[in-house]
Amino acid sequence: MVNGLDFALILLAVAVAAGGIVAKARRIALGQPEARSGDLRARIGGVCRAVLRHDRILRDQPEGRHHLYLFYAFVIPLTVIVVVQVAFSLPPVLARPLGLALDLVAGFGLFGTVRLYQRRYGEQPDRLDNRPEDRWALILLMAIFVTGFLTEASRLSLLSGFEYLWNPIGFALGIPLHLLPEPWRLVLVKFFWRLHLYLVLFTLASLPYGKLGHIPFGVANIFLRNLGPKGAFRPIDIETAEVYGVGQVEQFTRKQLLDLEACVRCGRCQARCPAYNTGKSLSPKKVIQDLRAHWIAKAPYLRKGQGDAFEQPMIEGGGVSHEDIWACTTCRHCMETCPMMIEHVDKIVDMRRYLVLMEGQMPQELVTLNKNLENNFNPWGVGWSARNDWMTRRKVSPRILTEEENPEFEVLLWVGCAGAYDDRYQRVVASVCRLLDRAGVSYGVLGTQEKCCGDPARASGNEYLYQTLVAENIAAMDALGVKKILATCPHCLKTLSKEYPQFGGNYEVVHHSQFLLELMTQGRLRTVRDLPGRLTFHDSCYLSRYADIVAEPRRLLGSVQGLELAEMPRSGTENFCCGAGGGRMWMEEEGTRINNVRAEEALATGADLIGAACPFCLTMLTDGVKAQKKEEEVQVLDIAEILERVTA
C-alpha cells in the first residue's frame, strides 16, 4: 500500500527530524567542550537500563507503569513492522499469535496514554506544568493508536472465518463496519491506513521540536552521563582558568547544555526537592527551564559573535535568582530521580563558584564561614591550636600520628571539624574511639595537622579555598603513609574518597557504619546487652545518595537485641534531607525549616530513638525534636553511641 508519494513523505519526515536535531546540536556546540565519551560498554548498558527497563521512571507509580505501556506499544510494533518489511514475511502459524500480541500491546499503550492524559489534566499534580505542546503530544499519540485500531478493524471487516479472532480489539471495533457495503470498507481501509501513516510521519518529523524531543536528546543525555565518582564536582584549574564557575550560559559545558534540552518537565526533581517542599522559591525544574529559555534567547547573538550585545544577565535576569542558587542543600535527590539524568546540582555549584570567586557575592553567613576556614581551618572559627582539646574533654586518648614517629597503623580516624569542635558530635567521635579500642584496632589521628576536608568551601562555591585545604591535608597524610581512612561524617567521606583523587590524594575511605559492621562481623565487637526501644533511622543524603550506603547502618542496628526499627515513609535513597548540606548548615533559613519537617516525620513513627550517622543530621534532627518540644521523650543518637551502649 506504500506508493511513491508515501516514500517521499517518509524521506521528508526523516529530513525534517534530522534538521531539527542538527540545529539543536549546533546550539549545544556553543558550550564548552567536555570529554564524556569513554567506556562505551558502560554507556550503552546504562542507556539500555534507563530506556528499556525504565529504571527511574518506574519509581513513580502508577504513571511510570503507564509510560512503560506507551513506550513498548510503539517500540514493539515498529520493530516488527520494520523487520517484516525488510527481512521476510511470517507464515500464518506465527503471524496470527504475533498479531494477538501486538493487539494487546497497542491496547495497553492506548490505555497508558489515556491515563497519562487523565493524570495531567484531571488530577493535575503540582509537579506538572501544562503547556499546549503537552496536550497535543498526548492527543497525537492517542490518535496514532486509534487510527491503527481503525485500520485493523476495517481490514478485518473484509475477512471471513476465524482469522479476525486473533485481533480482538480490531475485531470488536470492526463489528459495526459489517453493516457497510464492501466497497466502502475497502475505501475505509485505505483511508485509515494512510491517516495512520501520516500521523506517524508527522510525529517523526516533529520529534526534535516539541514535547517528544526528550526521546532523542534524553537518550543522548543518558549516554553521556557522568561515569566518574558519583557526586564529585568538577575541579577548576585555578592556575589557567580565565573564568571561575559559570556566570554566562555559554560557559556551561556542552553536556550541561544538553541537559537543558533533555528536560521533559516531569517535575520529579521538584517533587523531591527539600527547599521547594518547604516553601522556598527554588525548583530544580524551573532552574533548568529558565536556563534553557535564557540560552535559546542568547544563542542567536552567540552565533554572530555578539554575546556581549545580549544585555539580559543569566543570574538575576535570566530567571535564576540568587535566592534559588543559595537555597540548594546539594542533597542530590533531583539528580537521582531524574529519568533524563540531568545534573542540576553541578550547575548550581558552578553558578555559586562564579558568584563567590568572580563577583565576591555570597550570603553574609558564608563570608564568616570562609573567614573561619581561612584563619582557623574549621567552619566555626575556633582556634586551630584547640583542635585536640576534645580528647581531654571526652576522656579518650587516640594516638596522635607524627612523621617523626614513622608509625604503623591500621586506619586513620578522620576526626572532622564537627568531631573536634562541636560539643555534641565530640561525644560521637569519642564513642567511635572507645569502640575501636574495644575491638583492638590500631588507629591514629592527625591532631592539629588535620584541617577541614574542604566540603563546606567547595559546596558553597569557594573552589580556591577548597583546593588550598585539600593540598595541605594530602601533604600531611602522605607524609604519614596513610592508606585507609575512617570517617564519621558523610560529607568528609564523599570529599576524601571521591574528590581528593582529583588532586592526587588516593586513599581507601570508609564510613564508621561500614567499619563498625565489619568489626561486628569479624567478632572483634560483640553485643552483651539488649536495648529495648523503637528506633527510626534517618538516612543522610551524603550517605545514601552520594555513597549508596543504606543497608550497613540498618544491619548494624539490626544486631542490637530488643531494638525495633520503624522506617519513615521517606527512607533509604528516597529519604528527605535534614537541610544542612551545601553550606546551609551555617546559613539562616527563611520560612518552614527543612529539619523541622524531617523531625516531624521521624516523630510520627512513634519511635523513642532517632538514629543518625552524620554530624549535620544529628544537629538538625536534635533541633527539630526540640522545636516539637519532644526532647524529654525522644533521643537523637548516632549509631556509634547506640553500639557503644550494647557492646563489649
Average pLDDT over every residue of 492-506 = 98
pLDDT value for 156: 82
Q: Mean pLDDT for the chain?
A: 92
The pLDDT tens digits of the residues spanning 105-134 come to 889 999 999 999 999 999 999 999 989 999
Q: Could you report the per-residue pLDDT of 502-525, keeping only the tens digit for each?
A: 999 999 999 999 999 999 999 999
pLDDT for the residue 163: 65
To the nearest 10 degrees (0 to 180), the angle between helices 364-376 and 463-479 is 30
> Environment class of residue 204 by beta-carbon count within 10 Å: exposed (0-12), middle (13-18) or buried (19+)?
middle
Q: What is the pLDDT of residues 336-380, one digit of tens each?
A: 999 999 999 999 999 999 999 999 999 999 999 999 999 999 999
For residue 166, the model assigns a pLDDT of 78
What is the model's pLDDT at position 321?
94
Q: What is the mean pLDDT of residues 487-491?
A: 98
Domain assignments of the chain as residue spans, ordered by start: 4-30+61-223, 256-361, 377-519, 527-646
Q: Do 443 and 398 meet the contact criterion of CB atoms below 8 Å apart? A: yes
Place of cell 543522548: 220
Residue 556 has pLDDT above 90, yes or no: yes
Spatial contact of 639 and 568, defined as CB atoms under 8 Å apart: no
Mean pLDDT to the nearest integer, 65-88: 77
**Residue among 172, 102, 109 at smallest CA distance from 144:** 109
* Fold category of 4-30+61-223 in CATH: Fumarate Reductase Cytochrome B subunit (1.20.950)
User: What is the average pLDDT across 612-639?
Assistant: 96
| CATH number for the domain running over 256-361 | 1.10.1060.10
Of 97-101, 149-153, 196-200, 452-456, the one with minimum mean pLDDT is: 97-101
Residues pairing with 610 in the sheet: 536, 636
pLDDT on residue 186: 87
Mean pLDDT of 79-91: 61
Amino acid making up residue 321: S
H helical segments located in 29-91: 40-52, 63-86
Share of residues in the chain with pLDDT > 90 (%): 80
Distance CA 340, CA 130 (A): 19
pLDDT at residue 76, as a whole number = 85
Query: pLDDT tens for residues 152-192?
Result: 888 888 876 666 777 888 888 888 887 888 888 888 888 99
Q: What is the pLDDT of residue 1?
A: 59
527-646 folds as: Rossmann fold (3.40.50)
User: What is the three-state SS of 536-602?
Assistant: EECCCHHHHCCCCCCHHHHHHHHCCCCEEECCCCCCHHHCCCCCCCCCHHHCCCCCCCHHHHHHHHH
Phi first, then psi, for residue 239 (nearest 5°) are -75, -35
pLDDT band at 43 (very low <50, low <70, confident <90, very high): very high
pLDDT at 397 over 80: yes
Task: List all residues 6 or more positions away from 553 whose beta carbon is below 8 Å from its beta carbon.
Answer: 513, 537, 539, 543, 611, 613, 639
Query: According to the model, what pLDDT value does residue 81 have?
Result: 67
Confidence check: pLDDT of 88 > 60? no
Average pLDDT for 74-79: 82
How much is the pLDDT for 85?
54
Give 348: exposed, middle or buried? Use CB within 10 Å, 0-12, 13-18, 19+: buried
pLDDT, residue 38, reads: 83
- Give me the pLDDT at residue 635, please: 96
Q: What is the pLDDT of residues 325-340, one digit of tens each?
A: 999 999 999 999 999 9
pLDDT, residue 13, reads 93
pLDDT at 525: 95
Give the whole-number percent of the chain exceeding pLDDT 70: 97
Does residue 84 carry a pLDDT above 60?
Answer: no
Residue 2 has pLDDT above 70, yes or no: no
Global pTM value:
0.93
